[in-house]
Chain A
Amino acid sequence: MRKIIAALGAMSLVLFFNLAALAQTTMPDEPVQMADGMRSNGKIYVVVAVVITILAGLFAYLISLDKKISRLENK
Chain B
Amino acid sequence: MRLSWWKILCVVLLLIVSTAGFLGGVPAKPILNETIRNLYFHVAMWFGMMIFFGVSVVNSVRYLRTGNMRYDTYAVEYANSGILFGLLGLVTGMIWANYTWGKAWSNDPKQIGAVIAILIYFAYQVLRNSMIDIDKRARIGAVYNIFAFAMLFPTIWIIPRLVESLHPGGMGNPALNTNDIDARMRMLFYPAAVPGWTLLGVWITSLRIRLKLLEEQKLNNA
Contacts and interface: CB of A to CB of B under 8 A. Distances in A.
Partners in one complex: yes
Interface of A: 1, 4-5, 8-9, 12, 15-16, 19-20, 22-27, 29-35, 39, 44-45, 47-48, 51-52, 55, 59, 62-63, 65-67, 69-70, 72-73
Contact of B14 (A19, A35, A39, A55): A55
Contact of A35 (B18, B33, B204, B211): B33
B28 to A, nearest CB: 4
Given A30-B28, A48-B18, A69-B210, 7 more contacts: A1-B74, A1-B206, A19-B191, A22-B183, A23-B183, A30-B27, A55-B18
Interface stretch (B104-112, B138-146, B155-163, B194-202): B194-202
A23 B186 contact: yes
Nearest to B186: A19
Interface residues of B, number: 42
A49 to B, nearest CB: 10
A47 B190 CA distance: 23
A62 B207 contact: yes
B47 to A, nearest CB: 11
Given A12-B191, A69-B211, A34 B28 contact: yes
A40 B207 CA distance: 41
A29 B27 contact: yes
Interface of B: 1-3, 6-7, 11, 14-15, 18-19, 22-23, 25-30, 33-34, 51, 55, 74, 182-184, 186-187, 190-191, 194-195, 198-199, 202-204, 206-207, 210-211, 214
A25 B31 CA distance: 23
A8 to B, nearest CB: 7
24 contacts: A4-B202, A5-B202, A8-B51, A16-B190, A22-B186, A23-B186, A26-B27, A26-B184, A27-B27, A27-B182, A47-B22, A48-B18, A51-B18, A51-B22, A55-B14, A55-B15, A62-B203, A63-B3, A65-B207, A66-B1, A66-B2, A66-B203, A69-B214, A73-B210
